[in-house]
Amino acid sequence: MVKTEEVEDAYKVAKERYAEIGVDTEAAIKQLNKVKLSVHCWQGDDIHGFLFPGQELTGGIGVSGNYPGIARTPDELSGDLSEALSLIPGSHKVQMHAIYAVTDKKKDLDEIEPEDFSYWVDWAKKEKIGLDMNGTFFSHPKVKHNFTLASPEKDIRDFWIEHGKRTRAIANYFGKELGQQSVNNLWIPDGFKDNPIDKATPRLRLIESLDEIDKKQYDEKNTIEAFEGKLFGTGIESYTVGSHLFYNNYALTRNKLWTIDAGHWHPTEDVSDKFSAFLPFGKGLMLHVSRPVRWDSDHVVIFDEALVRIARSLVRDNELSKTNIGLDFFDATINRVAAWVIGARATQKALLQGMLEPIDQLKKAELNYDFTTRLAETEELKSYPFGAVWDEFCLRNDVPVGNDWLDNIHQYEKDVQFKRN
């Protein structure tokens, strides 16, 4: 078990080392404490939800593994989330999906209401956290030939338009009840497996559907919409209606948020480069932090180079205030609560490392064409004792330091999760 005195002693040394290059570690800790992550609920139950028990995952969605202890009820899932949040430093939010409605009535996606999420609002109030929302446009019989809002059939479009309207009302309810803006994210699986003849008409239908969904005005203090594109999906390899450029333009012209999912791009693209290209024009971003292996496989986020680049860009370009950071991955080959903790803490570590840079000095060197200093200093920073600052951050937030949190997981498995099977 990590000793408090050792953490504090190491932090004193690190604080002095960083001060030598003009970095205030106290300011970095304070800055990181302000960043709220939106933890995704669907890691805890492999995206099953509670609205349609036993329904198969479709629409390009799939989860690998069968690790014991999956959450099967609202109480089990909220309990697992509470355990995870107790091991993640700071105060955060949780992302919901429409299929996580808790109701004793049989309802379809076009019938859900804010009251069907009162369970989650009551839980969030106890945890003192906010809630974000996602419409569930997959794993449903009305996803017809991979089409929802862009479907050529009006009755299909109307069903999903009504669903979209209801998710907005639920997000507004979250914001009003919890006093924190709720981001309502929209992603759809619409597209073609093989080459289409008509690429324009499905997008015109999608525009019309989205405009209809967003017709009612809500106070942005409570909720705002975000739109998530994709390069391609399983079963729609040749054409995606809601492409990145489509939603980029839709968000710009409707003054909404654009969602960037780190796994939805070509493997050779640098996702972090998108932020500064969009934000000078756009209202803001919803970021889904994921880890694509080969492509959009939604592996648990780790502290890798791609994540570091994402975090550094947000910090260096002062874009955190316009960016909502959410997690989006699902892995059933490991403990599901541990997955949340690993991904969230990795994201926070990457942000902290970005905050522990003499950014103004480095920008000045770059402005003066002193690329030698820029390269030398950024290389040296890689071996600076940022881990000691991270441990201090955890200590101050009263969460386990180092790998001590894993002891909590093992005990939670023994006492709670493994008893479910």
Known catalytic residue at 190 = no
Q: Which of 15, 163, 264, 299 is catalytic?
A: 264
The structure tokens listed for 156 are: 């299909």
Query: Pairing state of beta strands 284-289 and 323-327?
Result: parallel
Known catalytic residue at 304 = no
Q: Is the four-CA dihedral 327, 330, 332, 333 of positive or negative sign? A: negative
**What would the DSSP string read from start to end of 279-290?**
TTTSSEEEEEE-
Known catalytic residue at 111 = no
Q: Which of 163, 230, 299, 349 is catalytic?
A: 230
- CA–CA gap between residue 231 and residue 246 (Å, rounded): 11
Identify the DSSP state of 38.
E
Q: Is 298 annotated as a binding residue?
A: yes
Q: Which of 46, 214, 225, 298 is catalytic?
A: 298
Q: Which of 177, 261, 357, 391 is catalytic?
A: 261
3-class SS of residue 325: strand
CA nearest 345: which of 267, 294, 404? 404
Query: Pairing state of beta strands 130-134 and 93-97?
Result: parallel
Q: Which of 120, 187, 390, 405 is catalytic?
A: 187
Known catalytic residue at 228 = yes
Known catalytic residue at 288 = yes
Q: Which helix (H) or strand (E) holds 94?
A: strand 93-97
Inter-residue contact 319 to 275 (CB < 8 Å): yes
Known catalytic residue at 298 = yes
Contacts of 34 (CB under 8 A, 6+ apart): none
Q: Which of 46, 228, 357, 391 is catalytic?
A: 228
Q: Which of 288, 331, 340, 349 is catalytic?
A: 288
The structure tokens listed for 307 are: 């994540």
- CA–CA gap between residue 11 and residue 15 (Å, rounded): 6
**What would the DSSP string read from start to end of 335-354?**
-HHHHHHHHHHHHHHHHHHH
3-class SS of residue 130: strand
- For tokens 């990590």, the residue is 2
Length of the chain (residues): 421
Query: Pairing state of beta strands 257-261 and 223-228?
Result: parallel
Q: Which of 83, 328, 357, 391 is catalytic?
A: 328
Q: Which of 45, 296, 391, 392 is catalytic?
A: 296
The structure tokens listed for 50 are: 């509670």
- CA–CA gap between residue 12 and residue 394 (Å, rounded): 15
Contacts of 300 (CB under 8 A, 6+ apart): 291, 329, 331, 334, 339, 342, 343
- DSSP strand E in 254-321: where? 257-261, 284-289, 291-293, 295-299
Q: Is 264 annotated as a binding residue?
A: yes
Known catalytic residue at 158 = no
Interior/surface letters 174-186, b for 16+ CB within 10 angstroms, e for the rest: bbbbbebbbbbbb
At position 299, the amino acid (one-letter code) is H
* Residues annotated as part of the active site: 187, 228, 230, 261, 264, 288, 296, 298, 328
Name the binding residues: 264, 296, 298
Name the binding residues for Mn(2+): 264, 296, 298
